[in-house]
């Protein structure tokens, strides 16, 4: 996929009628393509871990750190992006994000061992963490409220298709060569986008002189990093017994201190992450629903590929190909859902979609070794289509409830909640899955049967969470200014 293939398909954003520099309409298409590249890389690595273990002669737990370190860095950097965007402005924040991502990709490409490869993944994650909050903040700053759903549909398309394409692309590349090909394919595209952004991007808002609160940085590091790391240890039989309690304890205490610090600093508009976003009911309800949906989505992302490989005997490439249509459908529906949102608002779209997701999880709880592949495909397609409705609407309605001065902090908060909810959902699934699979194995069940038995309770738990979210969706409200006058096409 080339830049010329993607960019023309992105709808130009109708911008607010404020004085702008020439080229402002090019900002969102460039950000969308760049976001696609960085998210594609995030999921492409998962399929390659086994090959990396063999090539570098490392243990499974050490290889998993390539994913864990990426996740931890994202969790720590995203809370700072509100301040970073306010400080740097659009263009410099973009160059910083793509510069870090390109540098990290180059380090990974040439790394001779695990140490440098791990460092490259951390640098990559630093750039990735900036990109999505920057994109969402820019949409809110440039697009008229009545048309934000359509443009957020494009954002949803990017964040849906890229994760689905990543494993498939990785599986194909691994058929032909080394795991380094993954970075070799991504790096030239990232450099082209860095060059285009540096030449063509304009600032859509003025950078501020916001000061960095030095005390907030270590609190964010220990708080968000500690919680995500602790949640990642849940169900890890190789982890030391004290690690989980220590990580969650330190993370929880540091997070409380971080919140107290921000509440004090925001009185003089000096917070690293301004928490006044949560005083707006529309934002709080939307983000809360998003957290519940993310828990279910991330739990499925972890569990379903594992079942397909270990219980149904599929190869990584087959798994990628089976899950690709769902990701593609989710992306294709994004712009259409966005236009529906502009006409109808969130409540009539989100509630039914959450109901469908709950039903899909209930259906997946019936999987057995005799289940045909097309049933799993149908469930994944229905779930993906529903998530297209859920996330497009929730992104738009949450950020739309905020005043412009809080857009960047709202985007940072959304990204932070996504990371924490994803880690919590994964931990919940893994805990239930591991416990129930162990019970079935102790009763003499085969590995495939025990894995499926463990997944049944995990999917039933996810169905219950989605049922609660369905009821909570009745609280959704829409910004009264965000009403599209044009008919739906």
Annotate 290-304 with DSSP letters as a single string.
HHHHHHHHHHHHHHH
Which helix (H) or strand (E) is 465 found in, with range? Answer: helix 447-472
Q: Is the Cβ–Cβ distance between 291 and 417 less than 8 Å?
A: yes
Q: Is residue 164 located within the same domain as residue 308?
A: no
Task: Identify whether 1 is part of a domain.
Answer: no
Which helix (H) or strand (E) is 153 found in, with range? Answer: helix 148-176
Task: Identify whether 84 is part of a domain.
Answer: yes
Q: Is residue 52 located within the same domain as residue 184?
A: yes
What's the structural domain count of the chain?
3
Task: Identify whether 11 is part of a domain.
Answer: no
Give the pLDDT of residue 54.
84
Task: Identify whether 18 is part of a domain.
Answer: no
Give the pLDDT of residue 351.
92
CA 248 to chain centre: 22
Task: Identify whether 122 is part of a domain.
Answer: yes
- For 339, 352, 358, 484, the CA distances from 347, given in Å and listed in that order, are 14, 9, 17, 16
Give the pLDDT of residue 239.
65
Q: Is residue 56 located within the same domain as residue 135?
A: yes
Q: Is residue 199 located within the same domain as residue 223?
A: no
Q: Is residue 45 located within the same domain as residue 111?
A: yes
Task: Identify whether 77 is part of a domain.
Answer: yes
How far apart, in whole angstroms, are the C-alpha atoms of residue 430 and residue 303? 8
Give the pLDDT of residue 28.
85
Helix, coil or strand: residue 143: strand
pTM over 0.85, yes/no = no
How far apart, in whole angstroms, are the C-alpha atoms of residue 287 and residue 304? 25
Give the pLDDT of residue 52.
87
Query: What range does the domain containing 461 cover?
Result: 277-480
Helices 81-110 and 407-442: crossing angle in degrees, nearest 10, is: 50
Task: Identify whether 245 is part of a domain.
Answer: yes
Q: Is residue 192 located within the same domain as residue 242?
A: no
Q: Is residue 339 located within the same domain as residue 220?
A: no
- Given a cut of 50, the residues of the chain with pLDDT beneath it are 1-23, 482-489
Query: Which residue among 173, 203, 233 closes a domain?
Result: 203
Q: Is residue 360 located within the same domain as residue 303?
A: yes
Q: Is residue 40 located within the same domain as residue 110?
A: yes
Task: Identify whether 459 is part of a domain.
Answer: yes
CB proximity list for 299: less than 8 A, separation 6 or greater: 425, 426, 428, 429, 458, 462
Query: Which residue among 251, 273, 295 closes a domain?
Result: 273
Q: Is residue 193 located within the same domain as residue 241?
A: no
Q: Is residue 45 located within the same domain as residue 92?
A: yes
Q: Residue 80 is part of a domain; what is its CATH number?
A: 1.20.1250.20
How far apart, in whole angstroms, are the C-alpha atoms of residue 77 and residue 62? 22
Query: Which residue among 273, 293, 309 closes a domain?
Result: 273
Give the pLDDT of residue 249.
92
Q: Is residue 332 located within the same domain as residue 438?
A: yes
């Amino acid at each position: 996929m080339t830049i010329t293939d993607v960019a023309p398909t992105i709808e130009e954003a109708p911008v607010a009628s404020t004085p702008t520099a020439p080229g402002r309409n090019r900002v969102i298409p460039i950000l969308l393509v760049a976001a696609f590249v960085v998210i594609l890389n995030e999921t492409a690595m998962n399929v390659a871990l086994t090959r990396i273990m063999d090539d570098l002669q490392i243990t499974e737990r050490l290889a998993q750190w390539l994913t864990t370190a990426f996740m931890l860095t994202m969790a720590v950097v995203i809370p700072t992006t509100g301040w970073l965007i306010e400080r740097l402005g659009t263009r410099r924040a973009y160059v910083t994000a793509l510069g870090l991502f390109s540098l990290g990709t180059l380090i990974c490409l040439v790394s001779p061992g695990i140490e440098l490869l791990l460092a490259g993944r951390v640098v990559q994650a630093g750039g990735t963490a900036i990109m999505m909050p920057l994109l969402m903040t820019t949409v809110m700053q440039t697009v008229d409220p009545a048309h934000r759903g359509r443009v957020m549909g494009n954002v949803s398309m990017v964040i849906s298709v890229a994760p689905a394409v990543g494993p498939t692309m990785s599986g194909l590349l691994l058929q032909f060569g080394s795991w380094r090909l993954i970075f070799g394919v991504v790096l030239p595209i990232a450099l082209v986008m860095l060059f285009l952004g540096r030449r063509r991007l304009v600032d859509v808002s003025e950078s501020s002189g916001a000061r960095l609160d030095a005390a907030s940085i270590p609190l964010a590091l220990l708080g968000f990093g500690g919680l995500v790391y602790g949640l990642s240890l849940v169900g890890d039989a190789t982890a030391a017994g004290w690690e989980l309690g220590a990580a969650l304890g330190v993370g929880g205490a540091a997070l409380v201190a971080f919140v107290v610090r921000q509440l004090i600093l925001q009185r003089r508009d000096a917070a690293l992450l301004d928490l006044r976003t949560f005083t707006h009911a529309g934002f709080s309800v939307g983000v809360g629903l998003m957290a519940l949906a993310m828990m279910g989505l991330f739990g499925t992302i972890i569990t379903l590929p594992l079942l397909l490989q270990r219980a149904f005997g599929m190869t990584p490439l087959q798994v990628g190909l089976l899950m690709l249509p769902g990701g593609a459908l989710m992306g294709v529906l994004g712009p259409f859902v966005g236009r529906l949102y502009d006409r109808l608002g969130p409540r009539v779209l989100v509630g039914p979609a959450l109901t469908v997701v709950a039903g899909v999880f209930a259906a997946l709880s019936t999987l057995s070794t005799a289940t045909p592949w097309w049933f799993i495909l149908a469930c994944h397609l229905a779930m993906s289509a529903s998530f297209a409705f859920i996330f497009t609407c929730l992104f738009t309605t949450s950020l739309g409830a905020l005043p412009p001065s809080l857009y960047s902090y709202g985007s940072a908060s959304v990204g932070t909640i996504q990371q924490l909810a994803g880690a919590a959902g994964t931990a919940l699934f893994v805990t239930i899955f591991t416990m129930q699979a162990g019970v079935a194995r102790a009763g003499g069940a085969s590995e495939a049967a025990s894995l499926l038995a463990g997944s049944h309770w995990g999917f039933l738990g996810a169905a219950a969470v989605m049922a609660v979210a369905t009821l909570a969706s009745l609280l959704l409200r829409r910004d009264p200014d965000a009403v599209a006058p044009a008919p739906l096409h």
